[in-house]
Copies of this chain bind each other. A is one copy, B any other.
Amino acid sequence: MKILFNKPYKSGNELKYIADSIESGKISGDGIYTKKCHDFLENKFGYNKALLTTSCTDALEMAAILIDVKPGDEVIMPSYTFVSTANAFVLRGAKLVFADSKKDHPGIDEEAIETLITSKTKAIVPVHYAGVACDMDKIMELAKNYDLFVIEDAAQAIDSYYLGKDGLKKPLGSIGHLAAFSFHETKNIISGEGGMLVVNDEKFLKRAEIIREKGTNRSAFFRGEIDKYGWVDVGSSFLPSDIIAAYLYAQLESLEFIQDRRKSIWNRYDNAFRGVLDSKHDITLPFIPSHATNNAHMYYLVCSSIDERKKLLAYLKSNGILAVFHYLSLHESKFFNGKHEGLNLKESDRYTNCLVRLPLFVELGEQEQDFIIKHINEFYKKK
């Protein structure tokens, strides 16, 4: 048996919608399917404004431009995250201030944030790791008290929710001033490469459109609000082709099915491992805090050592199972490790060394999953 780590899902309507987009005569950005995706996402998740982008990276870059990050501004984020969370702000000259992860979850340690705030802090970028919500009440309160922007890195967090102190269930990405999502083929909802900027704070709406349209007021022009358009701001080409949006729309229509399948696979892993692996071995299983829902983006184990992980990955691989590790602490990277003195982020390094992601995709069959579970259990029995 050969089990891939991920297999991009097809709902069956992707090609039909792509053909339709091509037939529409407009396959550049903001065509008919882009509009359909925007409408779907705004209606389903109550975002003030959804804007498709070519990637989550690009959505983060838009956010960095929108909040006007200037050289020397400080931005707080976890070290255990994808490089794009960091690069988007480095490209604007920001100084990165890395926080550690929590002991029970790879997400940013909310308790550590306040100690990192200085007069130069401009923004906090919580990353909803594995689609599991950070404590947004706490983060938004800090932002309010210190007058900071919050940009949710919701790359993995589609269809996941935060349960606030006010008793409301809020979709991730709808809480911060801005939020960035990914539709990369490794995510729950995909378009190959792709992303979305969510604009929640009204004051960014107009400028977001401009920055996404290469710094021109073209969108206002096409709505008939102005009589010619031109260069009014910095910007880039953040619009994906409508072909990408057509693929995405087919996925969004299948959101419920996809999520049901993923949750069922996630629960099956969890039922097999919880109370078994974590009680007999020094293994951390995924933790969903009471303020969060589970969008089943990822099932992971945190091994007790890098050596144990290495052996586990090799054992699974030798049995045809592709499990993979994840991020490397950004503060320890070649790019950044000369830029700090002795920053010690223990939990971030632990996830760097010990976290293993298991195959989780819609078409993963029960037999395949049993095969994976059996081999992980076997590995630990032999230990």
Within the complex, what minimum Cβ distance (angstroms) separates A227 from chain B?
12
* A286 within 8 A of partner (CB): no
Residue pair A25, B7 in contact (C-beta under 8 Å) = yes
Residue of B nearest to A58 (CB): B237
Residue of B nearest to A184 (CB): B28
Q: Which B residues are CB-close (under 8 A) to A242? A: 192
Interface residues of A (CB under 8 A from B): 4, 7-8, 10, 14-15, 18-19, 22, 25-29, 54-58, 61, 71, 82-84, 86-88, 90-91, 184-186, 190-194, 214-216, 228, 230-237, 239-244, 247, 328, 330, 333-336
Residue pair B191, A241 in contact (C-beta under 8 Å) = yes
Residue pair A330, B231 in contact (C-beta under 8 Å) = yes
Copies assembled: 2
Residue from B15, B58, B335 in contact with A233 in the complex, judged by beta carbons closer than 8 Å: B335
Residue pair A83, B18 in contact (C-beta under 8 Å) = no
* Given A54-B54, A232-B333, A237-B57, A19 and B15 contact (CB-CB distance below 8 Å): yes
Residue pair B237, A336 in contact (C-beta under 8 Å) = no
Bound CA–CA A335/B15 (angstroms): 41
Interface of A is mostly: loop
Within the complex, what minimum Cβ distance (angstroms) separates A377 from chain B?
28
Within the complex, what minimum Cβ distance (angstroms) separates A269 from chain B?
22
Residue pair B54, A237 in contact (C-beta under 8 Å) = yes
Q: Which B residues are CB-close (under 8 A) to A194? A: 241
Within the complex, what minimum Cβ distance (angstroms) separates A185 from chain B?
5
15 A-B residue pairings within 8 Å (CB atoms): A4-B25, A8-B25, A18-B18, A26-B185, A28-B192, A83-B215, A84-B237, A87-B215, A192-B244, A193-B237, A231-B330, A231-B334, A231-B335, A232-B335, A241-B244
Bound CA–CA A305/B23 (angstroms): 38
Q: Nearest 4 pairs between A and B by C-beta?
A: A192-B241, A27-B192, A57-B237, A231-B333
Residue of B nearest to A92 (CB): B91
Residue pair B232, A192 in contact (C-beta under 8 Å) = no
Q: Which B residues are CB-close (under 8 A) to A26? A: 8, 185
